[in-house]
Amino acid sequence: MRLLALLAFGVGRRRTLLAALLAGAMLGTAAGASAAQGLPDFVDLIEKVAPAVVNIRTTERAEEGARPSPFRRRMPVPPGEEVPRGEGSGFIISADGYVVTNAHVVDGASEVLVTLTDKREFKAKIVGADLRTDVALVKIEASGLPAVRIGDVSRLRVGEWVLAIGSPFGLDSTVTAGIVSAKQRETGSDIALLQTDVAVNPGNSGGPLISTRGEVVGVNSQILSPIGSYIGISFAIPIDEAMQVADQLRASGRVVRGRIGVGIAD
């Protein structure tokens, strides 16, 4: 309707206005095409990485005299019986079954069950867990497994697209996307974290943060929220920090840190 109204002016101005409108339409089309071309397509990336992401479920043994959780008070469990404890995510770092996750996912668990995307389920052994960095390593007895590619955090830039794969609320293999909001974010933990706006919820803990290069650049671990679920701010452990811990856990089952001490000699 606007085009017809503008063309109702005199003949001389009609040509000028028509040319301007056509030029604007062409620019708008080009801009739209450019924007469409700039939208990310994660399909191939997810198909490559997702098979190396696992769901982790844990149970703990009910102890005599222990106070049950609010969810268990109506149906108390006899001492010695296994009770569901929690759920999280993880990712395979080697074809022979080593899996990285968060320490808080497996800490205190009496049994750890790892489920692959092909629905195979394994009992996992906790190789070690480091509560200071919130990194844990578990092992399943399998071979020929798909493994993630470890990325370089120094290449990661603020504003870059990143993705998370995990099991929020038990919904395994859920994919969410966002951008890197900040690097080296201090949150009071032992290490500076990556901040993103990727949707992360309970059950995502321990899952990978993935760059558009298809490489794992972080371990999703925390959210900042007054309600206990995602409101736009999430944090991940940088993968270089996580792998340093995982390598030590794999070698000795624990993390050794240097200390500086002062002694007084007579």
More confident residue, 26 or 51: 51
Residue range 84-109: mean pLDDT, rounded: 95
Distance, CA of 99 to CA of 91 (rounded, Å): 5
pLDDT at 261: 57
Write out the catalytic residue numbers.
104, 134, 205
- pLDDT of 1 reads 37
Domain membership of residue 259 (yes or no) is: no
**Is residue 263 included in any domain, yes or no?**
no
- Number of domains the chain contains: 2
Longest dimension (CA), the chain: 106
- Does residue 128 fall inside a structural domain? yes
Average pLDDT estimate for 99-106:
98
Q: Where residue 39 falls among pLDDT bands split at 50, 70, 90?
A: confident
Among residues 139, 174, 194, the one where a domain terminates is 139
Final residue belonging to a domain, choices 92, 116, 139: 139
Place of tokens 């569901």: 84
Q: Are residues 154 and 123 part of one domain?
A: no
pLDDT confidence band for 141 (50 / 70 / 90): very high
* Residue 226: pLDDT band with limits 50, 70, 90: confident
Give me the chain's average pLDDT, please: 82
Q: Is the pLDDT of residue 70 over 60?
A: no
Residue 194: which CATH number? 2.40.10.10
170, 237: one domain: yes
Residue 84 lies in a domain: yes
Does some domain include residue 266?
no
- Residue at a domain's end among 94, 109, 139: 139
56 within a domain of the structure (yes/no): yes
Mark whether 112 and 162 lie in a shared domain: no
Q: What's the whole-number mean pLDDT along residues 215-244?
A: 93
Question: Two tokens at 81?
Answer: 């019986």
Domain, as residue range, for 187: 149-252
Please indicate, yes or no, whether residues 103 and 131 belong to a single structural domain of this protein. Answer: yes
> What pLDDT shows up at residue 262?
58
Is 34 contained in some domain?
no
Inform me whether the pLDDT recorded for 219 exceeds 50: yes
- pLDDT higher than threshold 80 for residue 18: no
End-to-end CA distance of the chain: 97
The predicted structure's pLDDT at residue 92: 99
Rounded to an integer, the average pLDDT of 104-120 is 97
Query: Could you tell me if 71 and 100 lie in one domain?
Result: yes
Buried b / exposed e along 170-208 (16+ C-beta atoms within 10 A): eebebbbbbebbeeebeeeeebbbbbbbbbbbbbbbbbb
Same domain, 225 and 157: yes
pLDDT over threshold 60, residue 112: yes
Same domain, 230 and 135: no
Q: What pLDDT does residue 63 have?
A: 57
- 157 found inside a domain: yes
Q: Which residue has the higher pLDDT, 37 or 10?
A: 37
In tens, the pLDDT along 166-213 reads: 999 999 999 999 999 999 998 877 899 999 999 999 999 999 999 999
Q: Give this prediction's pTM.
A: 0.76
